[in-house]
């Protein structure tokens, strides 16, 4: 082989077979036109759900623009399980938030050859998934014929043959199928997912046996975050983050947040969580800590339910302290969105477990 032939071979793009997921929010532009702040807040809450399911099923998000998501999976089975899971969880979220906070996603799934350029992917494998996404129903999933052939015998999902469809910038019609998420009023296509996520659902379904007073909303309390450096310079950031999270969560009508006075009154006191739970009848509490080293800051946060002190969510955030207010705002948004999402999901699970006659008025509305 000549040097020129070697050079030509080296310039050939790297290719691979991948399952591609494309998702988009239904009516996003209209929502932004009506209320940008509310729309972005809800998008972030929904992205916690979508991105969490993608990660859990071994996927990687490699493209985002506005409300769109493009992700790759090595396995089409993982891709469709991720899509079904987050569509279910988004539906659960929509059932317990006000109408103006609801969001629906469309999802397109394709299996095809892609070109690898660094962390990005290109080619018809990606393009077909992106073109199938708008063909899906709101809250639904549309898959290509290639994708269907790989998954329909492996999962107990229900598919509807929609037939060949013309899609933009693709030469030949694409055979398409819809994933049916409802059958006779029940989410029967989720039964396989139930077994896949058995441990996760068991955790969610075991949470709130709280003895709440009649007609109460879930009650949450933030405890003062610990300043692990014991430096006064950090105290400003520590208190600011807690104060802003209280403010952010207090804007949500579906939960009751203990006042900042109650939180900061504990700062210099020794307290037992059990005693505070009995005193305030808490459903959840949030704890955290902050540690800094030079310009780097690490924030840990955890959401715990009060029955058995089971951890529902925890995360670690590492940031560079260039702009303290920008860092504070970003951390507050991420922590608040994650906490709110977990409360919404677990509150719904609590309501589903109880007979109608045992529901308080708040749970009945869920």
Question: How confident is residue 175, by pLDDT bands cut at 50, 70 and 90?
Answer: very high
- With a CB cutoff of 8 Å and minimum separation 6, the contacts of 305 are 207, 208, 210, 283, 284, 312, 346
The count of domains in the chain is: 2
* Residues 314, 228 share a domain: yes
Residue whose pair of structure tokens reads 């709440």 in the numeric block: 212
Identify whether 208 is part of a domain.
no
* Residues 237, 186 share a domain: no
Identify whether 54 is part of a domain.
yes
Question: How confident is residue 361, by pLDDT bands cut at 50, 70 and 90?
Answer: very low
- pLDDT higher than 60, residue 30: yes
- pLDDT higher than 50, residue 191: no
Identify whether 211 is part of a domain.
no
pLDDT for 46: 95
pLDDT for 2: 55
pLDDT for 216: 60
Question: How confident is residue 207, by pLDDT bands cut at 50, 70 and 90?
Answer: very low
How many Cβ atoms from other residues are within 10 Å of residue 177's Cβ? 23
Instruction: Express each pLDDT in 293-329 by its tens digit.
Output: 877 888 888 888 887 567 877 788 887 777 667 767 7
pLDDT for 341: 72
Q: Kindly state the tokens that stand for 334.
A: 């991420």
Identify whether 109 is part of a domain.
yes
Identify whether 56 is part of a domain.
yes
pLDDT for 267: 82
CA distance 159 to 66: 30
- Tell me the average pLDDT across 51-62: 92
Q: Kindly state the tokens that stand for 302.
A: 């955890």
- With a CB cutoff of 8 Å and minimum separation 6, the contacts of 168 are 131
Instruction: Express each pLDDT in 135-151 by its tens digit.
Output: 999 999 999 999 999 99
Choice between 132 and 184, residue whose per-residue pLDDT is larger: 132
Identify whether 209 is part of a domain.
no
pLDDT for 172: 86
Pick the range with the lowest mean pLDDT from 213-227, 232-246, 349-363.
349-363
Instruction: Express each pLDDT in 210-228 by its tens digit.
Output: 333 444 678 899 999 988 8
* Residues 111, 16 share a domain: yes
Identify whether 207 is part of a domain.
no
- The sign one gets for the Cα dihedral 3, 8, 11, 16 is negative
* Residues 276, 166 share a domain: no
Instruction: Express each pLDDT in 243-291 by its tens digit.
Output: 888 888 887 777 889 998 889 888 877 778 778 888 888 888 888 888 8
* Residues 189, 44 share a domain: yes
Residue whose pair of structure tokens reads 């990660």 in the numeric block: 55
Q: Kindly state the tokens that stand for 232.
A: 């006064």
Contact between residue 347 and residue 96 where contact means Cβ atoms under 8 Å apart: yes
In Å, how far are 17, 18, 120, 202, 222 from 123, measured between CA atoms? 11, 11, 11, 40, 48
Identify whether 203 is part of a domain.
no
Residue whose pair of structure tokens reads 């300043």 in the numeric block: 227
- The CATH code of the domain that includes 278 is 3.40.50.10610
* Residues 283, 158 share a domain: no
**Last residue in a domain, options 147, 163, 196:** 196
Nearest Cα to 246, choosing from 346, 348, 316, 340? 340
Tell me the whole-structure pTM to 2 decimals.
0.52
Choice between 318 and 56, residue whose per-residue pLDDT is larger: 56
* Residues 265, 185 share a domain: no
- pLDDT higher than 70, residue 202: no
pLDDT for 233: 66
The proportion of the chain whose per-residue pLDDT surpasses 90, expressed as a percent, equals: 36
Question: How confident is residue 206, by pLDDT bands cut at 50, 70 and 90?
Answer: very low
Pick the range with the lowest mean pLDDT from 81-90, 106-115, 193-202, 333-342.
193-202
* Residues 226, 156 share a domain: no
Q: Give me the domain span that covers residue 357.
A: 219-365
Contact between residue 134 and residue 67 where contact means Cβ atoms under 8 Å apart: no
Give me Rg for the CA atoms of the chain: 23
- pLDDT higher than 60, residue 20: yes
pLDDT for 351: 53
- The CATH code of the domain that includes 67 is 3.30.70.1230
pLDDT for 187: 41
CA distance 172 to 222: 57
* Residues 182, 226 share a domain: no
**Last residue in a domain, options 136, 161, 196:** 196
* Residues 97, 236 share a domain: no
* Residues 237, 188 share a domain: no
* Residues 307, 269 share a domain: yes
* Mean pLDDT computed over every residue of the chain: 79
């Amino acid at each position: 082989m000549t040097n020129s032939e070697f050079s030509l071979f080296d310039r050939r793009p790297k290719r691979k077979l991948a399952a591609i997921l494309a998702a988009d929010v239904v009516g996003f532009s209209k929502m932004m036109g009506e209320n940008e702040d509310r729309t972005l807040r809800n998008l972030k809450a929904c992205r916690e759900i979508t991105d969490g399911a993608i990660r859990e099923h071994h996927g990687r998000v490699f493209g985002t623009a506005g409300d769109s998501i493009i992700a790759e999976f090595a396995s089409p089975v993982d891709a469709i399980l991720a899509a079904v899971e987050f569509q279910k969880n988004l539906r659960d979220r929509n059932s317990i938030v006000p109408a103006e906070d609801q969001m629906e996603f469309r999802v397109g799934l394709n299996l095809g050859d892609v070109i690898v350029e660094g962390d990005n992917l290109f080619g018809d494998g990606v393009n077909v998934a992106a073109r199938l996404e708008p063909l899906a129903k709101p809250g639904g999933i549309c898959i290509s014929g290639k994708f269907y052939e790989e998954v329909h015998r492996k999962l107990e999902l229900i598919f509807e043959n929609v037939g060949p469809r013309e899609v933009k910038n693709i030469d030949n019609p694409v055979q398409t199928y819809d994933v049916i998420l409802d059958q006779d009023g029940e989410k029967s296509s989720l039964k396989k997912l139930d077994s896949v996520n058995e441990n996760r659902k068991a955790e969610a379904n075991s949470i709130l046996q709280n003895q709440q007073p009649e007609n109460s909303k879930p009650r949450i309390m933030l405890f003062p975050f610990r300043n692990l450096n014991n430096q006064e310079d950090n105290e400003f950031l520590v208190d600011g983050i807690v104060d802003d999270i209280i403010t952010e969560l207090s804007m949500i009508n579906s939960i009751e947040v203990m006042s900042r006075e109650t939180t900061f009154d504990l700062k210099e006191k020794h307290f037992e969580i059990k005693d505070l739970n009995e005193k305030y009848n808490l459903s959840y509490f949030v704890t955290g800590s902050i540690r800094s080293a030079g310009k780097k800051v690490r924030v840990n946060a955890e959401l715990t339910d009060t029955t058995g002190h089971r951890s529902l969510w925890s995360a670690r955030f590492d940031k560079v302290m260039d702009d303290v207010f920008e860092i504070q705002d970003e951390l507050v948004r991420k922590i608040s969105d994650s906490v709110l999402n977990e409360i919404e999901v677990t509150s719904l699970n609590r309501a589903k477990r109880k007979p109608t006659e045992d529901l308080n008025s708040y749970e009945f509305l869920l």
